[in-house]
Amino acid sequence: MTEMTLWGHARATASDNPFTLLAVFMFAGFLVIAVIGPSIAPYGPLASNASQALTGPSAQHWFGTDSLGRDIFSRVLVATRIDFSIALSAVGFSFIVGGFLGAVAGFWGGRIERIIMRLCDMVMSFPLFVLAMGIVAALGNSVFNIILATAIVNLPFYIRVACTEVNVRREAGFIEAARLSGNSDWRILFHHLIPNALPPMMVQVSLNMGWAILNAAGLSFIGLGVSPPEAEWGILVAEGATYIISGEWWVALFPGAVLMLAVFTFNLLGDGLRDLIDPRRRT
């Protein structure tokens, strides 16, 4: 049987699964927009023009205009950056803190594991969106608090994955060997166990990103977190919600569609990553 490198396997998976390839391109596209969005937007996101209020999609305004005459396409572009930053920061925080806590719990076990798992259970006893609402309500309306709330609510997933992965490998042969060669516990944890726990956590990251965006947008939609006139996908949809009933669909539906596309991209990516990383699929 031919040996396959990770790259070779990635290519094979991509050709097997064209959707994953598509997801990678879409992700790249979003990333580019997040970075250069504000610079390429045809209009300023706050530039209002009352005479142009609530016009439908046209050549000058691809996504139409809102009640203040602002170009929705530009606002959607600019919003990409905020939503991505929120999602990346929140997930990054959960990943690092959760991964660390989980690894510690899985490695030392005993009382530490019990306490950390109890904390996880406590957080998970709340419907996650409700808890996020409660945290933002308590701490105040700001982007930072949305990030914090999303991060806290996601912590248990990372803690559990890391704990399980480290737990399973704790007694493995190569760990025993490392221990016998005189490695300290912390070194074993950081150099050997955590790197091995990373792949399943990476799959979790991609799936979580989609959920983090939905969460942030949902919070903004109901008025928590990012406040108008800031451009964020959830807010854009909220602004358009009142006009749906009178038929001005573009105000809400374009931002919503882009939001959906972003989440969809992350979910596809997560599925593809899972196929890539699942050792049963490796030759």
Partner 1 sequence: MIALIARRVLGALPNLFGIVVITFLLTRALPGDPAAFYAGPAGTQAAVEEVREKLGLNRSMPEQFVIYLNDLVHGDLGQALSTGQPVSQELKTRLPASLELVFLALTLAMVVAIPLGVAAARHPNSWIDHLCRLVTTAGVSLPTFFTGLLLTYVFYFLLGWAPSPIGRLDPYLTPPEAITGLYTVDSLLHGNVRLFLACGAQLTLPVLTLAMFVLAPLARMTRGSMLAVLSADFVRTARASGLSSTTVLVRYALRNALLPVVTTIGMVFSFLLGMSVIVDKVFAWPGVGSFALDALVASDYAPVQGFVLTMALLYTLLNLVIDLLYVVIDPRVRLTT
Q: What is the distance, to the nearest Å, from the Cα of residue 180 to the centroid of all Cα atoms in its chain?
A: 40
Give which of 158, 149, 248, 233 is closest to 194, Cα–Cα: 158
Taking the complex as a whole, the smallest distance from the CB of residue 21 to partner 1 amounts, in Å, to 15
Q: Under a CB-based contact definition with an 8 Å cutoff, are residues 82 and 147 in contact?
A: no
Give whichever of 113 and 271 is closer to partner 1, judged by the CB atom: 271
Nearest to 171 by CA among 186, 202, 191, 192: 192
Which of 53/260 has CB closer to partner 1?
A: 260
Residues that bind partner 1 (CB under 8 A): 118, 121-123, 125-131, 133-135, 137-140, 210, 214, 217-218, 221-224, 234, 237-238, 240-241, 244-247, 249, 252-253, 256-257, 259-261, 263-264, 267-268, 271
| Residue 77 vs 148, nearer CB to partner 1 | 148
- Of 107 and 221, the one with the shorter C-beta distance to partner 1 is 221
Question: Nearest distance from residue 132's CB to partner 1, in Å?
Answer: 8
Give Cα separations from 128 to 9, 34, 68, 87, 264 (angstroms). 36, 27, 34, 15, 20
The nearest distance, CB 65 to partner 1, in angstroms, is 18
Helix (H, G, I), strand (E, B) or coil at 69: coil
CB of 181 to partner 1, least distance (A): 41
